[in-house]
Amino acid sequence: QSGEVAANPEQYDESYLCPVQVGQTTLNLDFDTGSADLWVFSTLTPKSESTGHSLYNPSTGTKKSGYTWDISYGDGSGASGTVYADKVVVGGVTATSQAVEAATSVSSQFEQDTDNDGLLGLAFSSINTVEPQAQKTFFDSVKGSLAKPLFTADLKKGAAGTYDFGYIDSSKYTGSISYVNVNTANGFWEFTASGYAVGSGSVSGSVGDAIADTGTTLMYLPTTVVQAYYNKVDSADYDSNQGGYTYDCSENLPNFLISLGGKTFTVSGTDINFAPVDSSGETCFGGIQENTGIGMSILGDIFLKSVFVVFDQTQSTPRLGFAAQ
């Protein structure tokens, strides 16, 4: 089988939500290559936490007795609950008995984002949080039945993009796809990024260890790289109250170039202009921030909306393919 599903941006492209049939209900889920749990708001979620969300009704599923899950994300958000097996359909691709993690508790970030009905993890199943036995991601459940064991991400700035499962649609990218091998030891789509450049500078240095993470909004890079970037932004400064680099919204940001698999990709300065910090619209928060304390770089949506990405398990070593959109 193969299929395509829309990835609809929230405000400021903070995350991208995709319609997914879970049991007999269609929910809008955040496809997240940085985690491996498929969890949903449900009729088991306290009303005080689930108002405004579409809810999975576990009555259509088979309860996995004694199974629980509890996940925390890099941004401090989290959720926990119980586990059911049920039908999940993404863009016409069906997992007949997918582990569906029904939330009995969610953090405030999820409670408040009423467009988001849960997450569909697309990292490696090794980091699934279900106890006493880790469960397969949706991709792992259907991988063997896909025309090709791969999926692609084509996210866009302020417009609907797509995730495709089982095939590469050559109309969605330009030029050739350049591949890098993935290190799955930490359960992420983790690889080594090469040199970088700011604006019209020449590509040099090394970004290093990084993950491709559709579930993270911004780009988190080494301090040296981030300082080199904002040195080219006159009004930029590190604002500890905002927790990162801010600048005058009226200032045009330079492009950021990164070399992956021997090819250089350009993230436009307009894409790096993330969002105003308040309703005055004077000060803006940058889409490139420091990876301090994370232990690796994260190429999140700010980067991913500039490229077409292949999450490829056609070979014994998984790999990532990057092409310009």
Ligand X SMILES: O=C(CCCl)NNC1=[NH+]CCN1
Which active-site residues does the annotation give? 32, 213
The residue from 1, 24, 75, 133 that contacts ligand X (CB under 6 A) is 75
Interface with ligand X by CB under 6 A: which range of 127-135, 153-161, 212-220, 241-249? 212-220
Half-sphere exposure of 249 (CA within 13 A, CB side): 12
The residue from 69, 73, 84, 247 that contacts ligand X (CB under 6 A) is 73
Burial class (CB in 10 A: 0-12, 13-18, 19+), 59: exposed
Distance, C-alpha 263 to centroid of its chain: 22
Interface with ligand X by CB under 6 A: which range of 27-35, 165-173, 225-233, 314-322? 27-35
**Lookup result for tokens 């405004």:** 52
289 binds ligand X (CB under 6 A): no
| Bridge partners for 174 per DSSP | 324
Decide whether 109 or 242 has the Cβ nearer to ligand X. Answer: 109
Residues sharing a CB contact under 8 Å with residue 85, sequence separation 6 or more, in sequence order:
61, 62, 64, 97, 98, 99, 100
CB of 213 to ligand X, least distance (A): 5
Element containing residue 303 per DSSP (H, E): helix 301-304
The residue from 19, 74, 195, 208 that contacts ligand X (CB under 6 A) is 74
Total residues in contact with ligand X, by rule CB under 6 A:
11
Decide whether 73 or 163 has the Cβ nearer to ligand X. Answer: 73
The maximal CA–CA distance of the chain, rounded, in angstroms, is 58
Decide whether 75 or 282 has the Cβ nearer to ligand X. Answer: 75
Interface with ligand X by CB under 6 A: which range of 67-75, 86-94, 128-136, 237-245? 67-75
Residues sharing a CB contact under 8 Å with residue 205, sequence separation 6 or more, in sequence order:
195, 196, 224, 225
Both tokens of residue 153? 């991400």
32 binds ligand X (CB under 6 A): yes
230 binds ligand X (CB under 6 A): no
Residue 229: phi, psi to the nearest 5?
-70, -55
Q: Please report the beta strands in 10-117, taking only residues with DSSP state E, as ranges in sequence order.
A: 16-22, 25-32, 38-40, 62-72, 78-90, 93-106
215 binds ligand X (CB under 6 A): yes
Decide whether 103 or 198 has the Cβ nearer to ligand X. Answer: 103
Interface with ligand X by CB under 6 A: which range of 157-165, 211-219, 241-249, 258-266? 211-219
290 binds ligand X (CB under 6 A): no
Q: Which residues bind ligand X (CB under 6 A)?
A: 32, 34-35, 73-75, 77, 213, 215-216, 298
